[in-house]
């Protein structure tokens, strides 16, 4: 069997682009997400462009029980996971703490921090048993800077940075690599989700400048995975050329 990668949040954006790229690079793929139709369409697309084997897991990563059951029920040959890409995540809303919507906070904390931990808790022992593996956490520029109205989302991504360091310490003696990738603005469904389906508001996020594309992050992930055994990339901060800080863009009219 080829190397096996599990990608959380493969139904769109960075996760989907990475699934397609890893399929073209001979990985077998376990793809997860809540939107099952999207997973099935992606599988079809992958089978059209590659010889990759694909297994779909349809669950909500906020449920510890469903996450554990999904991984525990994998056939034995699919439990030999080489790569865990902790990608599933979201921002919900844009507001001050004093005006914050508690349900938005819970969704971000439950997905970006707790979901990431639940799946790592169940997959990492499988890697430890085999003495090899690579965990890649998708963090963000928001894990390095805090911007106005971004309080809780930024805190979840700061947590991802810290957890990446903690995991690297924990995995050290087991020969398992741990990396994070921290992108600036990437044009995905992220902003549509953040603004609760408001496509106009979402469009404004990317107005007047050239953002990163999901493919840029997929290629970065492949680069991180393709380093020799003795090289671990701890973290890559990758920004659009038109973005300096989290809220500093080189926007141009008539872009
Ligand atoms: P998308 O909205 O396009 O993709 C998010 C993915 O996460 C979807 O596949 C979604 O699947 C999955 N997901 C969300 N909630 C859950 C859940 N409860 N259970 C299972 N899966 C879930 O956005 P991106 O591709 O941009 O986001 C991917 C990661 O990149 C996130 O962690 C985000 O924070 C990070 N990031 C994004 C940046 C950007 O500017 N776009 C910049 C920096 C980091 P489904 O809805 O089907 O469950
Ligand atoms: C997503 C990038 O700047 O919108 O993590 O938080 S940002």
Query: How far away, in angstroms, is 230 Cα from ligand 1 center?
Result: 30
224 vs 231: CA distance, rounded Å: 9
Query: How far away, in angstroms, is 97 Cα from ligand 2 center?
Result: 17
Six-digit token string for 163:
């957890």
The per-residue b/e assignment along 96-132, b for 16 or more CB within 10 angstroms, e otherwise, is: eeeeeeeebbebbbbbbbbbbbbbbebbbebbbeeee
pLDDT average, residue stretch 87-93: 98
142 vs 183: CA distance, rounded Å: 9
- Binning pLDDT at 50, 70 and 90, where does residue 154 land? very high
Residue 172: is its pLDDT beyond 90?
Answer: yes
Query: How far away, in angstroms, is 194 Cα from ligand 2 center?
Result: 10
Whose atoms come closest to the Cα of 57: which ligand?
A: 1
153 is catalytic: yes
Whose atoms come closest to the Cα of 94: which ligand?
A: 2
Residue 1: is its pLDDT beyond 90?
Answer: no
Establish whether residue 42 lines the binding site of ligand 1, counting it when its CB lies within 6 angstroms of any ligand atom.
no
Q: In the prediction, which pLDDT does 223 show?
A: 98
Establish whether residue 246 lines the binding site of ligand 2, counting it when its CB lies within 6 angstroms of any ligand atom.
yes
Phi then psi for residue 138, to 5 deg, are -85, 110
Q: In the prediction, which pLDDT does 253 show?
A: 84
Query: How far away, in angstroms, is 186 Cα from ligand 2 center?
Result: 8
Establish whether residue 12 lines the binding site of ligand 1, counting it when its CB lies within 6 angstroms of any ligand atom.
yes
pLDDT average, residue stretch 187-195: 98
Q: In the prediction, which pLDDT does 80 show?
A: 98
Establish whether residue 33 lines the binding site of ligand 1, counting it when its CB lies within 6 angstroms of any ligand atom.
yes
4-238: CATH superfamily: NAD(P)-binding Rossmann-like Domain (3.40.50.720)
CB atoms within 10 A of CB 206: 19
Q: In the prediction, which pLDDT does 255 show?
A: 78
Residue 113: is its pLDDT beyond 90?
Answer: yes
What is the domain partition of the chain in residue ranges?
Answer: 4-238
CB 2 within 8 A of CB 28: yes
């Amino acid at each position: 069997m080829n190397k096996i990668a599990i990608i959380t949040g493969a139904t769109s954006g960075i996760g989907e682009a990475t699934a397609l790229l890893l399929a073209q690079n001979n990985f077998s793929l376990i793809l997860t997400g809540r939107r099952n139709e999207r997973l099935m369409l992606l599988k079809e697309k992958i089978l059209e462009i590659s010889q990759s084997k694909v297994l779909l897991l349809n669950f909500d990563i906020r449920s510890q029980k469903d996450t554990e059951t999904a991984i525990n029920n994998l056939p034995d040959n699919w439990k030999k996971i080489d790569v865990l890409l902790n990608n599933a995540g979201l921002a919900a809303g844009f507001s001050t703490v004093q005006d914050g919507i508690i349900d938005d906070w819970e969704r971000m904390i439950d997905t970006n921090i707790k979901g990431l931990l639940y799946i790592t808790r169940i997959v990492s022992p499988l890697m430890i048993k085999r003495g090899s593996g690579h965990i890649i956490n998708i963090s963000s520029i928001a894990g390095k800077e805090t911007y106005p109205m971004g309080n809780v989302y930024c805190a979840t991504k700061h947590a991802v940075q810290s957890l990446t360091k903690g995991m690297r310490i924990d995995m050290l003696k087991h020969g398992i690599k741990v990396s994070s990738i921290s992108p600036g603005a990437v044009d995905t469904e992220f902003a549509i989700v953040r603004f609760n389906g408001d496509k106009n508001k979402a469009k404004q996020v990317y107005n007047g400048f050239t953002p990163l594309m999901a493919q840029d992050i997929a290629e970065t992930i492949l680069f991180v995975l393709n380093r020799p055994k003795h090289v671990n990339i701890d973290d890559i901060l990758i920004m659009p050329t038109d973005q300096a800080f989290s809220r500093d863009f080189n926007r141009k009219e008539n872009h």
